[in-house]
Structure 1
């Protein structure tokens, strides 16, 4: 029994559906104290107690203050052994203070108190009636018998009131009506008096939300169905006509199915859907001149501290025509038209009760909804997640929950538990602090549903564990987008923060500013460089102390900077000529005795970690221009330095720069790099053949029939190619849309091979497995090749790419 009040507090938005069987009103209901906040009809005392004790979710909340407070209040009920139908009523006595009343048929062994329990019994007389006072430790139970009923309470005043009024006891008419239709084949039925429960709601909910719930309707009742991993409430809500409660406002609407989950991003805290079809529901302006006159579904979406409004209509032309008087300018984002508004109260003045706090400065049509937001960042996030299919509707945990609710609703509320538990706008701060430290495991969503029929509504609530076998994988969500001061110039890439062991991002803009961006998307610093960085940045540990620096070349400098953007002496090294290839960094024996190789057309310079020229390296100049940055390849215990020359000559050298392998012939290079693949030096020629050079210098040619401008990447065992619109990984191929693709990039992470490429023509990022199968929920938006890694060490992959012009985007693959 001690768990019961916690249920009411934690799940108290209370509701119930009408039942077919009509049960005569038992006289037990008339002993219920007036103005009770909550009344529970307990049909099977032991079963209800067992259900509450064994539910996983309630177990997670049992150290919270609402839970412990309820245990304290109801502790004496642990010694009651009710055999028949019972009632438990909770009354507020003074603001935020509560007493209980318990009513059941009397029998000889009603109390079961172990002899070791400290207790005393005394008797009082009030208006000729006897009141027994049972003290168990510091808690008192005042009780009396009226007719055949035992009535016990934590309040002496309540017992005295019942004795004084016993000849004229009548239940609240609404409570009696709900009690009559309550089904008895469930362990318990709960009745909530909203007007008396605002302070009770605020034990769990924030004060503003508790007030909203108290004004939702007058009374709600629900049957309980509770198992170890499942809480379902079915009930009915009553509302008095003219009360101006939420149910009264929408009582003339027709229930319909909700499409809101199609656009609500998975990082949303919640969404509330209200159906307005066939009613012309606009609180202030219900005429056809209203912008919202033809609305079908109204949405309120909570994302962190933002409240977003969306509406679908049966007449888009009417909506857009009437929208124009509020439009001050237009823009676009990823081919979505954006209307910028001159009146931020467009929504709130049309819906002063339902959406009074909504600020609306921007509108875009996303899916079948017109989405209103107070800032562009929120609108761009909605659009981005919609494009990436990262919405509630794509989650199997959401689909499972939704399948157990009615198809059509007047009001549908879906809460994302892992977001709700962090939100002080929804939860009481103390309860939020408790839940924020609690792993809710497979509890993903909570759902509440009203289906209005005139002055009452059917109600359903559901909290259920997700089936771990159906939990979505590879769901792609944008976790941040960072705007630079100018257009992005280089491909963003991950680098390691040697303090946190997490990844950060480096990227350069067209004004030659280099940025370091945190794991959370914040710009840590920017550093002005002389020109664009050549190729990728390499991290080095120059001082061999575990602290990493960034090494790279620009058009005229070899630079090494620390994580605070400071140049590391003796770098930078300046060059008179133009550096033509990305920096190559060799660490032959993994001892951090670095070699930095700089290429200026035909000239090659090699420097050590002290910035000195490596005199033992004798290769100073190639016969022709070097077309790619040099490679270091190790086969067995032998090191090879590989240089590709524009003339077709392949130089395979010792560490000293002397020739190690004489390649027997020239190669008409395709522009692709040389890789160690299948134990051989491997690249392709301009004719699309695979070229492999063995350690004797022999050239082997395998006809792959790759087309002009083909692209390749390779590891020791995996070859990936793109030829026109065909991607091949190992022996597996897939056909892509025609486009302009970046180099296929192979990643091997957590024993899994991934291959990625980006279509720069359509701004789509693709991610494949080793079977050339596109991962679920790809492609996503991106305008450059990506970098892929576990950025925050949570065993989930993140990827970073260029966004729109001056932004970068970081995605998480869930």
Structure 2
């Protein structure tokens, strides 16, 4: 298969429209045949359209898809076809009145090709068909080659090199068209054989096609897995299981096992502004051992999985049933007649030996009316995070039953039961008991392939739920999330499909497509991945999909919703997400982990004044409250001069020194004499870890503290004229020390005692932007005036003024050699504009945004290449540009804070860490 399915189908739809734009009635054929009669029995999928109506180009979903080159060409082809029909009087113009079938079938080495089947009502229509094919292919009708096959004529349309473009045949009242002549021949043979119309299950679903349906999709479940196999990764992965065996997982092979899911399905396609929907029924029969028939005799039940799963859920599958005993009886009957029976029985027998009980019966007794399995984190390491949840009868009875099974297991293994249990207190002060469970593959063994991905290594009870998780940390995070109310129901992506979903169902499936995008290389083959990556920005706007099956009177109704979000809340390239519980308040910083210098860590504060230290893998190491918002940067210092680092920072009230465990050090925090107006800065004049801490305060004094946090008597600076809001800096130039800071009246250039060292001749009102030391050309201090003029302040007292353009007093400014030419460039952000100038004042580029920008940062990717980062918090988007204004591949990404870029692991790729509007911290991997 050379293209992903949706594009194939759209392009084939063009072919349908092109070949069947005719219908003037003159000489009528006498014989009549059903379109379905010619559909090959081997087809996995076919589409029936109620005529040839134009694609709704004004629909937002269709408009989005038009950004895909293949789909854009489709629209152009439709326009071309319409133009031919409009200008050719010999081609009939009655559109939308003929049913047409577009079927996919296998040719050669399991490769799919299309075949189109429709009606012709007259000889005149046949002439119109041939003329249209001539116009579309550019091949003269006089060169069409005719031959007989099984009593019918097949016309081959070949170019001058003898390459066959397509073949068609008029068989009775049917016209059959395909680029593969083998399929035309196959359809002709099918006319004289038993076909899909002789299948009672096809006829059942066919009778349910909606009257208003314009497009009906028919799925032959016996062959449908073969279609999926064309798209999937064929690599085999090996995993050792708890039974001492090696599992071999091959998606392309394993998908073929679902051929017994059901018989036929019919689904009606509808377009909406924010979603695509497919609704219809599936036919299944227990006498054919169809899996779906395990729900036979059930009524639809509210699943409520969105209330029992965390907001971070990427995927879930759930079974709900009104009659538990009947469900499990049907399930066991299904397995008895399946290929997996003996392997399953062996594994259950081993579990029963260890539990010393009928584990199937005990497990059934734990269940009330639903079971759910979910993926909660896409893997950045060896295994993804998963949950398996049983909705139980009562907590007390279920706990006694479950602990009884583990007690028997402990006796069997001659271990203490308590070694399998531990205590946990959630962030909301709720107490839980966590159990280690010996059979992680229980969900898939017990309930079948739909639950194979879940690993049940640890378990806990919460209300009436028994929750299994793939890791202890994952289970603890689940309990924290649920206690704090962050369920899936609150997720924005889930909301796009929830509103249109059924309130009650028996089978529920949900997938967050953006979250699962990171699994694309594991799931799909290289051809599919090329298409996905090429059109990533478009595909990630189709953010979520849900599928529900509702059993009513033993008829299975399907409801599929594909959500569309033009401005997705989350980007697909997020390597991990760490939920903080509140929005980020300051720029996340990458910091050194002195215990493992091969890995960096992240330190960040949220708007609730909680300071968090986070591992390179996205796990919170600790959280600690501070007295207010942190001003400026968080510094790492070696306070004890022993190689262990602490974090030094200040709020308006205090200077803090916190160690890597989140504990205050020595006599810190220090209460300031007046509220701070800037962030503390740390100077180490002699590089001997004898630190000096400088901070400006509301009383207009600049305070200097020694290593222990005591005020230095040798610092003799008086007061500033205005308020210092940016850090105090230490610059060493030509072996001289300069202490530099600014307020709204002047730039102060002092010596180490606070005395004026340079009295600049520049007279201007500095902006609120920080001063910068710049060494391109003559070393100088660079800043801007309130109206945006750039000032160079030299250390001999002289200055230079650089004109760019007028900016507001609230402009933001950075200076550096962005393009590697050895000269500084000036980067401005003013309200909704990003503007970059060269040193001569010539504009290099300008970008305008929909909202005011927050923050401006420069990032060094190489010695000569720097990038410019800005944030649009209103749109929850971050941007990264080079010196020419070209945006970095894949941007904008989701985020609403300033961001940091660096390597979290030695030898790893660059990572970008940013806060998001939903209170999470995202880590993106930059390619």
- Shorter-chain TM range is 0.5 to 0.7
Does 1:317 find its partner at 2:396?
yes
Which of 580, 585, 600 aligns to 2:694? It is 585
Rounded to whole Å, the distance in 1 between the matches of 2:570 and 2:709 is: 50
In structure 2, the CA distance between the partners of 1:383 and 1:63, relative to structure 1 (3 Å rule), is farther
Which of 271, 291, 297 aligns to 1:226? It is 271
Rounded to whole Å, the distance in 1 between the matches of 2:737 and 2:101 is: 93
Rounded to whole Å, the distance in 1 between the matches of 2:853 and 2:914 is: 10
Aligned length: 582
Counting only pairs closer than 5 Å after superposition, residues 504-653 of structure 1 correspond to structure 2 as 505=602, 529=640, 536-537=648-649, 570-573=686-689, 584-585=693-694, 597-598=706-707, 604=713, 636-637=745-746
1:395–1:472: 8 Å Cα contact kept in structure 2?
Answer: no
Does 1:279 find its partner at 2:324?
yes
Rounded to whole Å, the distance in 1 between the matches of 2:603 and 2:53 is: 62
Does 1:332 find its partner at 2:332?
no
2:461–2:467: 8 Å Cα contact kept in structure 1?
Answer: yes
**Structure 1 position 92, deviation (Å):** 1.3
Q: Give the alignment's TM-score, normalised by structure 1.
A: 0.59
Which of 492, 514, 530 aligns to 1:418? It is 514
Which of 217, 228, 240 aligns to 1:190? It is 217
1:435 aligned partner? 532
SS at 1:159 equivalent: helix
**Structure 1 position 35, deviation (Å):** 1.7
1:122–1:132: 8 Å Cα contact kept in structure 2?
Answer: yes
Structure with the bigger percentage of helix:
2
2:439 aligned partner? 343
Which of 143, 148, 151 aligns to 1:125? It is 148
2:577 aligned partner? 479
Greater shift in the superposed pair: 445-454 or 172-181: 172-181
SS at 2:269 equivalent: strand
Counting only pairs closer than 5 Å after superposition, residues 721-732 of structure 1 correspond to structure 2 as none
2:476 aligned partner? 380
Which of 46, 49, 60 aligns to 2:53? It is 46
1:402 aligned partner? 498
Rounded to whole Å, the distance in 1 between the matches of 2:498 and 2:920 is: 30
Does 1:290 find its partner at 2:363?
yes
2:773 aligned partner? none
SS at 1:377 equivalent: helix
In structure 2, the CA distance between the partners of 1:53 and 1:363, relative to structure 1 (3 Å rule), is closer
Rounded to whole Å, the distance in 2 between the matches of 1:116 and 1:441 is: 34
1:110 aligned partner? 129
**Structure 1 position 179, deviation (Å):** 2.3
SS at 1:321 equivalent: helix
SS at 2:505 equivalent: coil
What are the superposed Cα offsets for residues 169-226 of structure 1, whole Å, 9 maximum, x if unpaired?
5434132332233234322111011211223113445535744654432211111113
In structure 2, the CA distance between the partners of 1:88 and 1:314, relative to structure 1 (3 Å rule), is same
Which of 354, 365, 373 aligns to 1:300? It is 373
Which of 184, 197, 212 aligns to 1:159? It is 184
In structure 2, the CA distance between the partners of 1:493 and 1:333, relative to structure 1 (3 Å rule), is farther
Does 1:363 find its partner at 2:470?
no
Rounded to whole Å, the distance in 1 between the matches of 2:645 and 2:281 is: 66
In structure 2, the CA distance between the partners of 1:584 and 1:287, relative to structure 1 (3 Å rule), is closer
What are the superposed Cα offsets for residues 660-701 of structure 1, whole Å, 9 maximum, x if unpaired?
xxxxxxxxxxxxxxxxxxxxxxxxxxxxxxxxxxxxxxxxxx
1:239–1:247: 8 Å Cα contact kept in structure 2?
Answer: yes
**Structure 1 position 376, deviation (Å):** 1.5
**Structure 1 position 364, deviation (Å):** 2.2
Q: CA RMSD in A?
A: 5.6
Q: Give the alignment's TM-score, normalised by structure 2.
A: 0.52
Rounded to whole Å, the distance in 1 between the matches of 2:213 and 2:920 is: 49
**Structure 1 position 153, deviation (Å):** 3.0
SS at 1:185 equivalent: coil
Rounded to whole Å, the distance in 1 between the matches of 2:57 and 2:133 is: 19
Unaligned runs of 5+ in 2: 12-31, 86-90, 234-250, 333-357, 379-383, 407-416, 593-599, 605-611, 622-635, 651-663, 669-682, 716-728, 757-851, 856-895, 902-911
Rounded to whole Å, the distance in 2 between the matches of 1:368 and 1:47 is: 52
SS at 1:39 equivalent: strand
Rounded to whole Å, the distance in 2 between the matches of 1:396 and 1:190 is: 29
Which of 30, 35, 41 aligns to 2:42? It is 35
Which of 183, 204, 215 aligns to 1:177? It is 204
In structure 2, the CA distance between the partners of 1:191 and 1:183, relative to structure 1 (3 Å rule), is same
In structure 2, the CA distance between the partners of 1:4 and 1:329, relative to structure 1 (3 Å rule), is closer
In structure 2, the CA distance between the partners of 1:454 and 1:428, relative to structure 1 (3 Å rule), is farther
Which of 538, 544, 550 aligns to 1:445? It is 544
**Structure 1 position 123, deviation (Å):** 0.4
Rounded to whole Å, the distance in 1 between the matches of 2:737 and 2:35 is: 101
In structure 2, the CA distance between the partners of 1:655 and 1:41, relative to structure 1 (3 Å rule), is same
Rounded to whole Å, the distance in 1 between the matches of 2:917 and 2:708 is: 30
**Structure 1 position 416, deviation (Å):** 0.7
Rounded to whole Å, the distance in 1 between the matches of 2:145 and 2:547 is: 47
1:733 aligned partner? none
Rounded to whole Å, the distance in 2 between the matches of 1:172 and 1:247 is: 22
